[in-house]
Amino acid sequence: MAMNYNAKDEVDGGPPSAPGGTTKTRRPDNTAFKQQRLPAWQPFLTAGTVLPTFFIIGLIFIPIGIGIFVTSNNIREIEIDYTGIEPSSPCNKCLSPVETPCICTINFTLEKSFEGNVFMYYGLSNFYQNHRRYVKSRDDSQLNGDRSALLNPSKECEPYRRNEDKPIAPCGAIANSMFNDTLELFLVANESDPTLMLIPLKRRGIAWWTDKNVKFRNPPGTESLKERFKDTTHPVNWLKPVYELDLEDEDNNGFINEDFIVWMRTAALPTFRKLYRLIERKNDLHPTLPAGRYYLNITYNYPVHSFDGRKRMILSTVSWMGGKNPFLGIAYITIGSISFLLGVVLLVINHKYRNSSNTADITI
């Protein structure tokens, strides 16, 4: 039997229901939430509400910015560029590939003492660790101590995956380009006495705790670290295998070497610095680095002139906000000043046109 169809019988675009059946609908339930009838507050912007907001932002941001800026400027920092491009630089002789390894010494003077703990960084310029292929060129399973990944690295590591039919450990471009200059710091104890005093540099505690204890692991086993890395070879640009990165400290050797861990955390910008060593304060009676003359002894292994890069050593103290960085303070001061200036301009405009409007109403 034929059934008459009426378009009005369709509810919200759904198919017509059978006679006597339940009507299907896509219409939301008739509730305050689903029909958007909940109580709401819509601000009504007036001069009395907007102008105080600009002034409050300015009065809050400007003092905070001044405080951050002054704190940043109080941080002591010194940079020593030892790239050696200048002919007068003591490290200029190290640009020649013939002299390997090359040792050069740069002397500098601290005008003021460095109090508290001092952090030694190495800095590189024009080095793009943020390149997509470079960032992906690693095997996290291998770095976490997985034996199967140790002998069969990920294809992401190509072309630094195998060498001479042996798997590379650690594989990839990041590990292959690891910074390997050696920096030593000496203090001239007395100008009349040429004796140099070696500044102790702490090599532990420079990596993130999560990296050191979670992300990086040596292959498991009870045998020596050398045995655990057998049947593998070191990266092409390395001078020694991974199990010889720190022969003095077993807990800082292999994949858990902190210099290696710090390097594997890639930088976001082409000019960056990475923590190299810690200089801890011995007592409160003497500064960590007293004012005076110092010698920086450099074992120059890491070439940068092929890509027009530069190398530098940085000594820096820290504050509650971290290292020296005036940008945050300047940003707060700028935003606060702009907000305060806008508040003044809008106040003048509001006062002028409000009076004009009142005068016009009286004239009419």
- Please tell me the least confidently modeled range out of 194-203, 225-234, 255-264: 194-203
3-state secondary structure of 31: coil
271, 264 Cβ separation under 8 angstroms: no
Calculate the average pLDDT of the chain. Answer: 88
pLDDT winner (highest mean) among 120-129, 280-289, 320-329: 120-129
**What are the boundaries of each domain within the chain?**
49-75+319-338, 87-110+130-268+292-303
Q: Express each pLDDT in 216-231 by its tens digit.
A: 999 998 899 999 999 9
- Please tell me the least confidently modeled range out of 133-147, 192-206, 223-237, 259-273: 192-206
**What is the share, in percent, of the chain residues with pLDDT greater than 90?**
65
Instruction: Give me the long-range contacts of 324-329 (CB less than 8 A, separation at least 24).
Output: 324/72, 324/73, 324/75, 324/77, 325/72, 326/69, 326/72, 326/73, 328/65, 328/68, 328/72, 329/65, 329/66, 329/67, 329/68, 329/69, 329/70, 329/71, 329/72
Whole-number pLDDT of residue 60? 96
Closest CA to 335 of 40, 66, 105: 66
Q: Express each pLDDT in 141-180 by its tens digit.
A: 999 999 999 999 999 999 999 998 899 999 999 999 999 9
Whole-number pLDDT of residue 19? 59
Question: Which DSSP string do the residues of 236-251 spell out, in sequence order?
Answer: TT-SS-GGGS-TT-GG
